[in-house]
Amino acid sequence: MDAVEKAGSGHPGTAMSLAPAAYLLFQRVLRHDPSDPKWVGRDRFVLSCGHSSLTLYIQLYLSGYGLGLDDLKALRQWGSLTPGHPEYGHTAGVETTTGPLGQGIGNAVGMAMAARRERGLFDPDAAPGTSPFDHMIWCFASEGDIEEGISHEVSALAGHQKLGNLAVIFDSNHISIEDDTQIALSEDIAKRYEAYGWQVLEVDWTKTGEYVEDVQALYEAMEAARAETERPTFIKLRTIIGWPAPNKQNTGKIHGSALGAEEVAATKRVLGMDPDKSFVVPDEVLAHAREVVKRGRDLRAEWDKSYQSWREANPERAELFDRISARKLPEGWDKALPSFEAGTSVATRKASGEVLSALAPVLPELWGGSADLAESNNTTMKGEPSFIPDEYQTKAFPGNRYGRTLHFGIREHGMGAILNGIALHNGTRPYGGTFLVFSDYMRPSVRLAALMKLPVIYVWTHDSIGLGEDGPTHQPVEHLWALRAIPGLDVVRPADANETAAAWKAVLEHTDRPAGLALTRQNVPTLEGTGDPDAVARGGYVLRDASNGQPEVVIIGTGSEVQLAVEARTILESQGIPTRVVSMPCVEWFRAQDDAYKQTVLPPAVKARVAVEAGISLGWREFVGDAGEVLGLEHFGASAPYKTLFEQYGLTADRVVAAAKASLAKTGADKGETTGN
């Protein structure tokens, strides 16, 4: 109450009613060591209802993670360690950035899946509960989390995957910003989770007619969750939001705003506290809470024995664990990358699939799959088992619980949040595929991956009108620049098969940000000169220079349109116009280069420029300048064979030539011939 009052804004109600549950979890149930927040053997805690950030901050303070009372006083202020919603990498003990509702549940599911995959990599033969890699993922969720559609996607998959290492404590307080949730929510949430295949337990602190915080009943439910290893557990905890505030408890007013001085004072009187004092934490209270540090260190010491025994018995796996945990790639791994013969014709989605299969033996940390589009996205590594309970494997996809190929079902948004959870858990590298147009369905998760600087990889295929007959509903037009607008996301659109292999290399070498590969459905020619991984990693490079080394016009292309730029150069050169072609697979990588390099690729003196990309032209003016031309698509596509679409919409070499001449004309280079009066 004091923290929100001082900040003048915040969400006190849920933090008040969940305080006993959070304290119980951190003091008695959660396996953690406050003196080492990154202890590998720890349980993970995800506060999906991130608006109730004080639920977490107060436990981090009481448990001894390094937060002080002054940090709680600085809630939601500039430069503080206690921002309005928890931020990963900003505050010790925060496992993920939460706030957008439902995302945290998805992250928790991803963490649980990652824990199982990692156990399979490092200690597959240990009996259940005996491995140093056995731990729980705990998640607090609110009605808002449960209402968001993403919660259905990830919870259904968690039940299907039988993630017995996952427990969600659902704060059922029947209140949201618009007051009583009855106005919009009436389904039986417990039955919903039973239908998903979860163990469902209910703890009702209102059942006697009086409000009784029965911590023992909740503790027993949490212990039952830990004991259940074949199903995730959903604990429905009935609370009263804002209890015991005498006038504002059980109202929407206490959900997202300060109580006000009078209500704070009245609540303190109910609790037997001095209403005139703020931020009072008696020394004996803090000392009692900090006893959890010893508990954590004892748990850690016990775990260390098991861990060291494992390392001694499994030196090769221990070496693999160390490498993956540090996100270091093995020496010479890139020698496994395939190369493609110039002159052949290969779809970049197919080339990507061949890259994945080639990397499978050398990068066991790389794993992933698709939102039910494996054949279209080419995301299945050849010969690798699916990640699935044995009883759910199919003839087409044999597998086991420790498998590698992920099947997200038609759940793009859930896939995005799960990928984030996998990346957060430790060092494995997840990828997920769908059509580029459906990146819209997962955009909130992609944005959070960028915000958290997570090395998640998206395989987005069918990247333009080039997918053809499926028509405008499936043809991305605005998506490339809409995704490039997300700070910290690398959008990579390779020109051909060799650029695709080089793009995968560059993406895997980055461990501090997500990347999306935009890949073609249609075959594209494999061009000479696209296989230099260092050039591709720079984001833009000279693919074909002017015949005299002094270009009069520069054509910039991405993806399937690079071939048009190359064809146009041939025509322009035959007409005596020295022309350079620049392939720019990744705008973000190119922007990151120093000015000197960028000038060698795009000489400032050459004002005549053309950019060609089968999408909206939104951001290309930055690269072509005022005299430049952009050949793109400012409208939706249509259903027809892709060659017809490119021709009818003017995405042809002849149109690139015309655009180049138009740009030259703007620079004054277009001279007429004098023939008389």
C-alpha–C-alpha distance, residues 101 and 90, integer Å: 20
Q: How many CB atoms lie within 10 A of CB 129?
A: 9
- SS3 per-residue string spanning 438-503: HHHHHHHHHHHHHHHCCCCEEEEECCCHHHCCCCCCCCCCCHHHHHHCCCCCEEECCCCHHHHHHH
C-alpha–C-alpha distance, residues 51 and 101, integer Å: 9
Tokens of 38: 């990154």
Q: How many CB atoms lie within 10 A of CB 471?
A: 15
Q: Give kind and range of the element (H or E) at residue 175.
A: strand 175-176
C-alpha–C-alpha distance, residues 556 and 620, integer Å: 9
Tokens of 58: 């107060």
> In 3D, which of 560, 463, 564 has the Cα closest to residue 517?
463
DSSP code at position 165: T
* Peptide bond between residue 244 and the one before it cis (omega within 30 degrees of 0): yes
Asked if 477 and 615 touch (Cβ cutoff 8 Å), the reply is yes
C-alpha–C-alpha distance, residues 643 and 629, integer Å: 23
Asked if 266 and 249 touch (Cβ cutoff 8 Å), the reply is no
Q: How many CB atoms lie within 10 A of CB 299?
A: 18
Query: How many CA atoms within 13 Å lie on the side-chain side of 265?
Result: 5
Give the residue numbers annotated as catalytic, written as ranges: 412
Q: How many CB atoms lie within 10 A of CB 599?
A: 12
Residues with Cβ < 8 Å from 4, sequence gap 6 or more?
A: 10, 11, 12, 54, 75, 257, 258, 259
Asked if 382 and 357 touch (Cβ cutoff 8 Å), the reply is yes
Asked if 234 and 146 touch (Cβ cutoff 8 Å), the reply is no
Report the DSSP beta bridge partners of residue 657: none
